[in-house]
Amino acid sequence: MNKQKVILIAEDDADDRLLIKEAFFESGSAAELIFFENGEELLNYLKDFSKEEAAILPDLFILDLNMPKTDGKEVLAYLKAQNIFQDIPVIVLTTSKSKDDRDVAIGMGAAGFFSKPSSFTELVHIAGSISEQWVK
C-alpha cells in the first residue's frame, strides 16, 4: 500500500495558510499538508528526525521566504545541509517577485520558486503544478 504523500509548509500568514490548503484541495492533490507558522517551528519539528524514521519523512517542503524568527532561506540552508533531508525537494512560495530572491533560493538548492499570485485560480494552478511535478 502506498503511503499518503506529505507536504510540510512553513507560512507565517494565517490567510495564506488557508488559501494554500484550499488551493491544494481544489487542485485535486491527495497530499497531507502540515503547516508551521514560521521556520523556527518547522526546524523544531524536524530536529528529532533520524535515519530510522525515513519512512515518515515528508515528500516535499514548501517555504515562505519572509517569516519571523527563522526565515525561509535559513530553513532552506538547514534542509540542504542535513543528509536526511537534502534529497527532499524544497519549493519556495513567497510574496517576493525579486529575481535576486529567486536566484538565491535556486542557488541554495530550491527545486522551484513561485511568487504568490493575486488570484485564487492562479494559486490552484500553482498547487496543481507542484503536486504534479514534485508529489507524484
Q: What is the pLDDT of residue 3?
A: 74
CB crowding 64-83: b at 16 or more within 10 Å, else e: bbebeebbbbbbbebbeeee
Residue 111 near residue 91, CB atoms below 8 Å: yes
Domain boundaries, the chain: 12-134
Q: What is the pLDDT of residue 53?
A: 59
**How many C-beta atoms lie closer than 10 Å to residue 108's C-beta?**
15
pTM for this one? 0.93
Supply the CATH classification number for the domain 12-134.
3.40.50.2300
Residue 91 near residue 110, CB atoms below 8 Å: yes
Averages of pLDDT over each 10 residues, the chain, 136 residues: 84 96 95 95 83 73 93 95 92 95 96 96 97 89
